[in-house]
Structure 1
């Protein structure tokens, strides 16, 4: 049975493992070892950063994750709250793709972003992920993709 939940500190090892798996796949790295500095900074961000991570599980097996990182900037006329967010680590293992899991994780995080007053979302997209992001209302930009709320 597939479950999707907000990650808690006890999920940190699962989240980090999924992130490293995703980074290796996206960057076409085989058996890459992330140095201790990278691991420490990443772990610290998940513990202390202004973010929310969602984890998808098939029973006790981790199958996907998605993270939203919150950013405060000076307000503008088109984004009067100054609250923005960036999606990272949106990933579902190959065997679980095309089942709506990533969509559900993204929808949960978009809902949370709206609740927090975020007016602008962006992300970097792989070719595999672009269709999902278009379905969620994102549009292509020179730097990646974005969605105004």
Structure 2
């Protein structure tokens, strides 16, 4: 899916313009799935560089918790068997004016089939304090907050 990586810089501004015109605020979620060895699940998208926490937008009529569980399943195949726990809420003004991101932690899940429809290039379990060199800046920051004792930054 290298073509998605190449066209993303052109399609993303159109998506943002449409989103800005149709809604005043956007809300996203990220899921921190922690296995019994203390590792976290990360994903590589076909259209973004680096390793990210699984996540995406909250759909109309959906709770943040439900969106986080849905995105976790769609992007990794991990089906939450217990509700996640809200860890933090961040403003994402740097990336998109009016955007907010809620971060949930999941510790109980079962593996299932992937349903990401070509959106995810790779998944992997990682030590949260020893991330791959190309982990996204936001992933590194959240892991430092959750597992390293860093103060929570209200900005994404």
TM-score by length of 1: 0.25
Q: Pick 1 or 2: higher relative contact order, CA cutoff 8 A, min separation 6.
A: 2
Of Structure 1 and Structure 2, which has the larger fraction of its residues in helix?
A: 1
